[in-house]
Amino acid sequence: MIGNSDACNYHMALGFYYAYSADAYRLAEMLENGELFDEMEVSIVIMNLYIAENTLRYFQKKLGLPTGRFRTSETICFKKGKLELGKLTGDVEDILATAKQWLPERRKKSNEIYSLRQIFLYEAALWIFYLAGKEINYYFLDHTYWENRMEVMSEKEKKDEIISK
């Protein structure tokens, strides 16, 4: 996985983890209902889910995030609905409104540490948005490090070009 930073890689790994989790829940339901007989598809999804979870844990540790985190198998009850086993039941708009409140409102400062509660709520909110088919705005990711790095590289290339002349 190659992203602009460990933070970007964490978010990509989280997305893959959620995608394969959703597939696993879908296939489990199909197996339970007797609609699926292809063991190869199930084993591929499980292997991909395993890889995605290990990748996610790697980047969580690398970023110094708390190790206890949201699991897609957890049940969360809302005033007018529920998230359980990869399904939203009840008033989905009310669930989405609550989940939106859990997303960061600003970019993280480099020395700021997220609490376990913040990470749990953030990951739960993303899972809810994923299940509802809603887009997620990653405006809070700070890409300035890489933009500055590219400017430095461009300046170095300019100097190398001047020296070679």
Torsion of CA 149, 150, 154, 156, to 10 degrees: 30
Q: What is the pLDDT at residue 145? A: 42
Residues 9 and 59: beta-carbon distance below 8 Å: yes
pLDDT in tens, the chain (165 residues): 566 678 778 888 888 998 899 888 888 888 888 887 778 888 999 999 999 999 998 988 888 876 666 778 888 899 999 988 888 999 999 999 998 888 776 555 555 556 667 778 888 888 898 888 887 766 666 554 444 444 444 454 444 444 444
Q: For residue 51, what are the CA distances in angstroms to 43, 55, 72, 136?
A: 12, 6, 16, 23
